[in-house]
Amino acid sequence: MTSDHPARLRRRGLTTATYRSKTFDYSLDYGKVDLREHPELYRVGRGEQGVLLVEPYKSEILPHWRFRNVAAATESAAAISALFATYKERQDFVGMDMARKVLQMGYTRARRYANHSSGRKYDAAGDVVPVDRDDEKAAAATVFFAAWKHVEADPDYQLRKVRHKACYG
């Protein structure tokens, strides 16, 4: 990856080892590892990294994920936020973070489809596809954005995130 280039890391005051410890670990076999039982193996990473991999959370959260229109997004964001609250009640940071990631993904995907009805930013030749606005998807993205920022700002989530990173990287 270009962003992992050692010279770029040094300019930002990071070493390859410290940088990699903060990224999502794609080397695990997530189909065989239950991160509810082994939260020490989970790395937060950046943004939505691992959102489609981490079990059992993927199977619990993704069935609720919809962004077709505002009504679907509202129902979806509420269901995923409720799962976030359940994980919080169980003191399950990995579940909380995965719910946050799915809400973030709801925002980014709805924004993508709001700008490109096909969902593709580039055509087969690699040229940028012209933007074609979809106000319904843009409104759906707004619903997810509000839910994402709400859970991300939760003080308990913030504290658990700091603790998890301090303990496990």
Segment 28-53 mean pLDDT: 92
User: Does 63 sit behind a cis peptide bond, omega within 30 degrees of 0 on the bond before it?
Assistant: no
d(CA 96, CA 82): 10
Q: Is 86 exposed, middle or buried (0-12, 13-18, 19+ CB in 10 A)?
A: middle
> Residue 6: pLDDT above 80?
no
Segment 156-161 mean pLDDT: 96
Question: Cα–Cα–Cα angle for 122, 125, 127, nearest 5°?
Answer: 45
- Residues of the chain with pLDDT > 90: what percent? 67
d(CA 117, CA 141): 14
Averaged confidence pLDDT in the chain: 88
Q: How confident is the model at residue 24 (pLDDT cuts 50, 70, 90)?
A: confident
Q: How confident is the model at residue 88 (pLDDT cuts 50, 70, 90)?
A: very high
CB atoms within 10 A of CB 120: 11
Taking CA atoms, 124 is separated from 18, 21, 120, 131, in Å, by 37, 35, 10, 16
**Of 82, 98, 6, nearest in space to 48 by CA:** 98
Which helix (DSSP H) or strand (DSSP E) does residue 136 occupy? Answer: helix 135-152
Q: How confident is the model at residue 168 (pLDDT cuts 50, 70, 90)?
A: confident
Residue 42 corresponds to which amino acid? Y
Q: How confident is the model at residue 10 (pLDDT cuts 50, 70, 90)?
A: low
d(CA 83, CA 97): 11
Identify which of 13-22, 30-39, 95-104 has the greatest average pLDDT. 95-104
Q: What is the pLDDT of residue 5?
A: 55
> Residue 45: pLDDT above 50?
yes
d(CA 92, CA 95): 5
Taking CA atoms, 95 is separated from 6, 67, 101, 163, 165, in Å, by 32, 21, 10, 15, 15
Q: How confident is the model at residue 119 (pLDDT cuts 50, 70, 90)?
A: confident
